[in-house]
Structure 1
Amino acid sequence: METIIVEPRKGIGQITLGMTREEVRKYAEANGLRLFNPRKDSTAVQSVGDFKVEYDSEDRVIFIELSSFKGDHDITCLLMDINVFETKAEDLVERIDKISPYDRNDWELGYSYTFHELGLAFWRPYVFRDEDMQQEWFLSHDKEEQESYLRDQYFRTVAIAVDGYWNKSKESVKYSV
């Protein structure tokens, strides 16, 4: 089992903020990872956990996102010794909020939580809570559909970024040492 460590303001796994596009390419090549460019201004590294990496205008990493999708790989994603993708979203937010407050004005609150002081964010496509398991709409679904809903108790991605990434337009964000 591979363990991927999330270090706010530093990196996720071996991909770190400030790396050049070429360093990410070499890392991907050395580890058998595929690269693709969905947009001209970003590169995504697909592999264990499915990384997305964004660069500034000088081709330095300013944003790293890791997806919970494991595919055929067995990974664990740890942040401050907390298993990110196996800790219920509300519990994870509560624990991190004790260290640094999340943005309570985020228009996607519930779906996403951003901790600006840490340069850290979490996202999930749907909000599902324990109390939803008792609702008629949930109980009326078959077991497979219920399993899908239960997955939404957890975040699907964790991301880190340089200072100001979520506050400014991407064109004005630069990596700084």
Structure 2
Amino acid sequence: MDNLIIEEGRSVGTLRIGMTKQELDQYVRTYQEKCIRPCDFFYSLFKYEYDSEGKVTHIHITDTVKEYYTCLFKDIDVFNTKASKLVEELDKISPYIRDNDASLGFSYTFPKLGLSFWRNHVRNEEYFHSEEFKELDPEIQEDEMRYLYFETTTIFLIPREEEH
């Protein structure tokens, strides 16, 4: 499996902040062609936000990409590392914004890394030892376990510090 390398505040693989939609589409097509298993929905693995000039400002990557590529930031697999461990490791590099979403465990933003992470639901290890969890159907248990990990990673331009 090939790697998609995240460069802080700049890019994921060949998809770079500042590209146009046409440029992004061209590079995504290249990734799609390299896939061992063809997939028609490959374009849905990446979402973008644009500025008024049509240049990308944010690249959102969904966790489904891990079926095709290993998504790495500083040699850490962002979709196969438990959210708690990922946040702990990245917080050592640069602190995240301590806001309500972070305190609840849903979303973490690392402004100096140009990265944010999101998950729809939060689960911790203790929950998986609870009677409530043990009573669930195996398929539901498997689905619940994915909430130990982030579902979306976003790369954005690192804000420049104000010059005094």
Question: Same-fold call, TM > 0.5?
Answer: yes
**Which residue matches 1:102?**
96
- What is the distance in 2 between the residues matched to 1:28 and 1:135? 42
- What is the distance in 2 between the residues matched to 1:91 and 1:31? 29
Alignment check: 8 A CA contact 2:101 2:108 kept:
no
**Which residue matches 2:23?**
23
Alignment check: 8 A CA contact 1:50 1:69 kept:
yes
Which residue of the other structure, out of 79, 82, 85, is the alignment partner of 1:88?
Answer: 82
Structure 1 runs of 4+ aligned residues shifted over 6 Å read none
**Which residue matches 1:123?**
118
Alignment check: 8 A CA contact 1:49 1:69 kept:
no
Q: CA RMSD in A?
A: 2.1
Displacement, 1:31?
A: 5.0
Matches within 5 A, 1:18-167: 18-30=18-30, 47=42, 50-70=45-65, 73-107=67-101, 109-164=104-159
Which segment is superposed worse, 114-123 or 102-111?
102-111
The aligned amino acid for 1:3 is: N
Which segment is superposed worse, 100-109 or 54-63?
100-109
Query: Which has the larger helix fraction?
Result: 2
Displacement, 1:29?
A: 4.6
The aligned amino acid for 2:26 is: K
Displacement, 1:62?
A: 0.2
The aligned amino acid for 2:59 is: I
Query: Which has the larger strand fraction?
Result: 1
The aligned amino acid for 2:127 is: D
With over 3 angstroms needed to count, the CA separation of the structure-2 counterparts of 1:150 and 1:25, relative to structure 1, is: closer
Displacement, 1:106?
A: 3.9
**Which residue matches 2:14?**
14
Displacement, 1:118?
A: 1.4
The aligned amino acid for 1:89 is: A
Structure 2 gap ranges (5+): 34-40, 160-164
Alignment check: 8 A CA contact 2:28 2:43 kept:
no
Which segment is superposed worse, 57-66 or 13-22?
13-22
- What is the distance in 2 between the residues matched to 1:31 and 1:105? 35
- What is the distance in 2 between the residues matched to 1:147 and 1:118? 32
Displacement, 1:25?
A: 3.1
TM-score by length of 2: 0.83
| Corresponding residue pairs, total | 151
Structure 1 gap ranges (5+): 34-45, 165-177
